[in-house]
């Protein structure tokens, strides 16, 4: 099936567009509708079914995130989230990107094993793209899973203003058969009644330390959308948290989530959870079969989760979306489809241990705070090093009073337990939360693609506030670059 046809069907069915409800009902007995605007499927300008080639630009646009809730946002192609890029594992993705923003930008492809030249880090893997600049991102989608894209210039600002989109790489042979599939892009945005964005510096240094959250929580760019379905329908939800600071602890009135995968695709075996924690930058792949009386509504909520001071104090549970059950009688309960994946863990023996300590010393006389990695904020840091082919265990100790979702570019890793055994079920991660006052070990194989790769906290205010670094894999290019401390 050609991509155009496939994306059309994806547009009609998978994304649950509001308008084509009638045709969706015709095609699927268990059809549902989603009143969020569809994740926009871009036009594929390449006839080759194994190539997804699109034009995309970033610009400021008026966006409506709910009835009467308008914001002048920073967008990819005019909407929040950006176009939904969807292809099959092994396909090639080509994005001709133009920057029409008032500021420099780049695109980083979060979680993808791309060549370093495609990693989108300004001053390291490409020059920043100034207003009017174009750049073509072109690489092969080597891994199935849900990924996402966002800028890597002033990322706290730009992601907070609306620049993010989902990139889903399907594996048609993964054997997961369900009644329906939905991709959920969770985010938030802050703006005033005039539709003006909340300044990225709001709250000053304290805002940086807390990690600023936008007051409007969005699912696929919409406030509290309603997903309509027949009770008992087995659905696969692929969820990404693209918020710049907010964690989502998802609850569906205690109904279970069967987690089948995470950042790097399916995990070795499923696990059942009562609530689902998705920290910034992370993805989860879950099977659900929401149940309820036909005609009733079920709330999907974001519960309070303590990721540090300011995240639970004076805060309320948020309603993320609603599930409305159709009048059709509930489908009989049935077992979730079995999923599994053979993951061969990276060899631990002989790996180099790399201690990493995250700290937040008290603010200086100037009132400024900066997070530090091994004693230095990003703008003073030298790259870590790894020989090409070297395996390393990063022992990450979080000495601060805030959680830090730790993200590494370009490589997946496995979490190790206290006995240095890979945590079961095995799951490839590229973003992993390091709770406050906790040490977590991860095993990384720097087996390919030499270059200087970033790591940072995915609370983007923390990253910009110093919690970032790079690892030089293989010989250094000798290029030097400078990083300036943030202005606030």
Could you list the residues that contact ligand C2O (CB under 6 A)?
A: 108, 110, 150, 152, 281, 407, 409, 454, 456, 458
Q: How far is the CB of 116 from ligand C2O (least distance, A)?
A: 13
CB of 130 to Cu ion, least distance (A): 29
Between residues 3 and 137, which has the closer beta carbon with respect to ligand C2O?
137
Strand 257-262 to 384-386 pairing: unpaired
Nearer to ligand C2O by Cβ, of 88 and 152: the residue is 152
Phi, psi of 294, rounded to the nearest 5 degrees: -50, 135
Q: CA-CA distances (angstroms) from residue 385 to 124, 410, 441, 469?
A: 15, 15, 18, 11
Residue 164 makes CB contacts below 8 A (sequence gap 6+) with 76, 80, 81, 82, 148, 149, 150, 185, 187, 242
**Binding partner at 457 among Cu ion, ligand C2O, none, C-beta below 5 to 8 Å by kind:** Cu ion
Query: Measuring CA to CA, which residue among 328, 390, 393, 401 is closest to residue 362?
Result: 401
Residue 464 beta carbon to ligand C2O: minimum distance, rounded to whole angstroms: 11
Kindly indicate which of the ranges 70-78, 202-210, 361-369, 460-468 contains the residues binding Cu ion, using the contact rule CB under 5 A: 460-468
CB within 8 Å of 99: residues ≥ 6 apart: 57, 58, 105, 129, 130, 131, 132, 133, 134
DSSP H stretches of helix in 393-477: 460-464
Half-sphere exposure of 356 (CA within 13 A, CB side): 32
Contact 434, 399 (CB under 8 A): no
Instruction: Pick between residue 343 and residue 459 the one whose CB is nearest to Cu ion.
Output: 459
How far is the C-alpha of 67 from the C-alpha of 222, rounded, in Å?
9
Handedness of CA 428, 432, 438, 443 (dihedral sign): positive
Smallest gap from Cβ 132 to ligand C2O, in A, equals 24
The option from Cu ion, ligand C2O, none interacting with 459 (CB < 5 to 8 A, set by class) reads Cu ion
Q: How far apart are the first and last CA of the chain?
A: 52
> DSSP state, 175?
-
Helices and strands in the chain, H and E counts = 5, 30
Residues facing 32 on adjacent strands: none
Closer CB to ligand C2O, 108 or 238, in the complex: 108
Q: Which is nearer to ligand C2O, 75 or 224 (CB)?
A: 75
**Per-position DSSP letters for 124-174, written without gaps between them:** TTBPPBPTT-EEEEEEE--S-EEEEEE--SSHHHHHHTT--EEEEEE-TTS
Residue among 336 and 396 whose Cβ is closer to Cu ion: 396
Which partner from the list ligand C2O, Cu ion, none does 40 bind, CB cut-off 5 to 8 Å by kind?
A: none
User: Considering beta carbons, is residue 235 or 242 the nearer one to ligand C2O?
Assistant: 242
Q: Choose the contact partner of 107 out of Cu ion, ligand C2O, none; CB within 5 to 8 A by kind.
A: none
Q: Select the residue whose beta carbon is closest to ligand C2O and give its number.
A: 110
Smallest distance, ligand C2O to C-beta of residue 335, A: 35
Q: Does 457 bind Cu ion (CB under 5 A)?
A: yes
Instruction: Kindly tell me which of 211 and 451 has the beta carbon lying closer to Cu ion.
Output: 211
Give the burial class of 165: count Cβ atoms within 10 A of its Cβ; 0-12 exposed, 13-18 middle, 19 or more buried.
Answer: buried
Pick one of ligand C2O, Cu ion, none as the site partner of residue 454 (Cβ within 5 to 8 A by kind). ligand C2O
> Using the 8-state DSSP alphabet, how is residue 296 labeled?
-
209 part of the interface to Cu ion, by CB under 5 A: no
Return the range that interacts with Cu ion (CB under 5 A); candidates 85-93, 387-395, 434-442, 452-460.
Answer: 452-460
Selection from Cu ion, ligand C2O, none that 356 binds (CB < 5 to 8 A by kind) is none
Q: Residue 351 CB, nearest distance to ligand C2O (Å)? A: 24
CB of 108 to ligand C2O, least distance (A): 5
Site string for Cu ion, 399-428 (x = CB under 5 A): -----x------------------------
Strands, sheet with 33-34, edge to edge from the N-terminal-most edge strand: 33-34, 226-229, 318-325, 297-303, 248-251, 275-278
Compute the least distance from the CB of residue 167 to ligand C2O, in Å.
12
Shortest Å, Cβ 437 to Cu ion = 13
Among 31, 93, 118, 459, binds Cu ion (CB under 5 A): 459
| The token pair that represents 487 in the structure block | 């202005």
Closest distance to Cu ion from the beta carbon of 408 (Å): 14
Q: Which is nearer to ligand C2O, 86 or 110 (CB)?
A: 110
Interacting partner of 407 out of Cu ion, ligand C2O, none (Cβ under 5 to 8 A depending on kind):
ligand C2O
Residue placing its CB nearer to ligand C2O in the complex, 3 or 402: 402
Residue with smaller CB distance to ligand C2O, 315 or 481: 481
Report the alpha-carbon distance of residue 192 to residue 213 in Å, rounded.
14
Phi (first) and psi of residue 242, to 5 degrees = -105, 10
Closest CA to 351 of 454, 452, 446: 446
The residue ranges that bind Cu ion (CB under 5 A) are 404, 457, 459, 462
């Amino acid at each position: 099936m050609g991509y155009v046809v496939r994306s059309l069907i994806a547009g009609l069915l998978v994304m649950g567009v509001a308008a084509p409800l009638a045709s969706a009902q015709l095609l699927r007995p268990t059809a549902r509708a989603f009143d969020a605007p569809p994740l926009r499927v871009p036009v594929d300008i390449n006839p080759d079914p194994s190539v997804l080639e699109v034009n995309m630009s970033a610009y400021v646009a008026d966006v409506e995130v709910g009835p009467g809730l308008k914001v002048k946002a920073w967008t990819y192609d005019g909407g929040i989230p950006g176009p939904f890029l969807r292809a099959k594992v092994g396909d090639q993705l080509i994005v001709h990107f133009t920057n029409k923003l008032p500021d420099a930008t780049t695109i980083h492809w979060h979680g993808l094993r791309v060549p370093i030249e495609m990693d989108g880090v300004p001053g390291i893997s490409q020059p920043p793209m100034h207003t009017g600049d174009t750049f073509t991102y072109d690489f092969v989608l080597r891994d199935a899973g849900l990924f996402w894209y966002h800028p890597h210039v002033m990322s706290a600002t730009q992601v907070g203003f609306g620049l993010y989109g989902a990139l889903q790489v399907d594996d048609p042979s993964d054997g997961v058969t369900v009644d329906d599939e939905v991709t959920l892009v969770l985010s938030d945005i802050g703006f005033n009644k005039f539709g003006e964005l909340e300044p990225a510096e709001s709250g000053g240094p304290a805002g940086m330390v807390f990690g600023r959250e936008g007051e409007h929580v969005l699912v696929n760019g919409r406030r509290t959308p309603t997903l309509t379905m027949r009770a008992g329908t087995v659905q696969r939800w692929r969820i990404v948290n693209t918020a710049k600071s907010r964690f989502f602890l998802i609850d569906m009135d205690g109904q279970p989530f069967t987690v089948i995968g995470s950042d790097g695709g399916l995990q070795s075996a499923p696990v059942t959870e009562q609530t689902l924690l998705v920290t910034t930058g992370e993805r989860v792949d879950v099977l659900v079969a929401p149940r309820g009386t036909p005609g009733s509504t079920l709330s999907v909520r974001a519960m309070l989760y303590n990721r540090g001071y300011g995240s639970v104090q004076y805060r309320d549970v948020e309603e993320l979306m609603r599930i409305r059950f159709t009048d059709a009688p509930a489908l009989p309960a049935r077992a979730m489809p079995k999923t599994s994946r053979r993951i061969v863990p990276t060899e631990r023996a002989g790996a180099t241990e790399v201690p990493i300590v995250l700290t937040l010393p008290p603010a200086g006389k100037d009132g400024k705070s900066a997070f530090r990695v091994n004693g230095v904020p990003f703008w003073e840091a030298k790259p870590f090093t790894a020989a090409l082919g070297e395996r390393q265990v990063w022992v990450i100790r979080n000495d601060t009073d805030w959680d830090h979702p730790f993200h590494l570019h370009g490589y997946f890793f496995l979490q190790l337990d206290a006995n240095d055994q890979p945590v079961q079920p095995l799951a490839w991660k590229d973003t992993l939360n390091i709770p406050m006052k906790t040490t977590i070990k991860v095993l990384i194989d720097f087996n390919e693609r030499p270059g200087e790769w970033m790591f940072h906290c995915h609370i983007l205010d923390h990253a910009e506030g110093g919690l970032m670094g790079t690892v030089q894999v293989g010989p250094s290019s000798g290029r030097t670059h400078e990083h300036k401390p943030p202005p606030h």
